């Protein structure tokens, strides 16, 4: 008891939204998968003139979206996005959710089917303090904003930067940008990012048809 565990940064932190806003062009057609109460989409609509659509699993969040005038569809990402046609969006956003879906590879593929570009924020479970915690305490790390134990965590998958790159290659997904978030700040260049980054911000596009995915 009382043992300090390393805490991952709050996934709802303004930094993530800011970073997403920076990489979404004015007037884009944007879908946010796991849009919550629609706050990010509201900002994109009002400040960026974007045409926005939310997808959310929690009905009570949909009520909030509607109150903001944000269109939202009640949908489980693991059931697929089949009712959303191909190439409907410029940008699909998935923030701190990929580790929680049952089939991350399928969700990534679906994102790049419905959208030209995907912006994905994932936690880096290979951060050195997590490694240290696992090695020294011999216990599953617990995060600050998701203070769950191993038996009730919504996080189903624990991936690292290296893992994500590997999956992108396997799915023929092109990593256009890979931005480590270290100490709550995005870093264009970082030394040992797979050890130092708490989260990673990815801009993804469909890979070349010949199957050669670019690794960043």
Binding site for another protein (CB under 8 A): 29, 51, 53, 59-60, 62-69, 71-74, 83-85, 88
Shortest distance, CB of residue 69 to another protein, whole angstroms? 5
Q: Which is nearer to another protein, 29 or 116 (CB)?
A: 29
Give the 3-state secondary structure of 70-93.
CCEEECCHHHCCCCCCCCCEEEEE
Q: Which is nearer to another protein, 66 or 192 (CB)?
A: 66
Q: Which is nearer to another protein, 60 or 209 (CB)?
A: 60
Instruction: Decide: residue 142, CB within 10 A, 0-12 exposed, 13-18 middle, 19+ buried.
Output: middle
E strand residue ranges, 134-183 = 173-182
Q: Which is nearer to another protein, 50 or 121 (CB)?
A: 50
In this structure, are residues 88 and 66 in contact, taking their beta carbons and an 8 Å threshold?
no
Shortest distance, CB of residue 25 to another protein, whole angstroms? 16
101: nearest Cα among 175, 171, 154: 154
Shortest distance, CB of residue 6 to another protein, whole angstroms? 38
Shortest distance, CB of residue 208 to another protein, whole angstroms? 27
Shortest distance, CB of residue 93 to another protein, whole angstroms? 15
Q: Which is nearer to another protein, 45 or 127 (CB)?
A: 45
Q: CA angle 77-34-113, nearest 5°? A: 50
Query: What letter does residue 183 receive in the DSSP assignment?
Result: T
């Amino acid at each position: 008891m009382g043992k300090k565990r390393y805490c991952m940064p709050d996934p709802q932190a303004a930094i993530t939204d800011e970073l997403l806003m920076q990489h979404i062009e004015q007037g884009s057609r944007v879908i946010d998968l796991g849009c919550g109460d629609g706050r990010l989409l509201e900002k994109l609509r009002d400040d960026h003139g974007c045409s926005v659509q939310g997808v959310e699993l929690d009905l009570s969040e949909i009520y909030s979206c509607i109150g903001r005038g944000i269109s939202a569809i009640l949908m489980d990402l693991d059931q697929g996005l089949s009712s959303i046609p191909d190439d409907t969006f410029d940008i699909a956003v998935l923030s701190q959710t990929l580790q929680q879906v049952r089939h991350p590879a399928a969700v990534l593929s679906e994102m790049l089917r419905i959208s030209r570009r995907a912006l994905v924020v994932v936690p880096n479970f290979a951060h050195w303090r997590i490694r240290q915690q696992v090695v020294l305490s011999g216990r599953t790390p617990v995060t600050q904003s998701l203070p769950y134990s191993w038996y009730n965590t919504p996080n189903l998958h624990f991936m690292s930067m290296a893992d994500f790159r590997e999956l992108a290659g396997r799915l023929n997904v092109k990593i256009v940008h890979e931005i480590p978030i270290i100490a709550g700040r995005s870093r264009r260049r970082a030394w040992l990012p797979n050890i130092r980054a708490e989260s990673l911000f990815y801009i993804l596009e469909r890979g070349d048809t010949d199957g050669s995915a670019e690794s960043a």
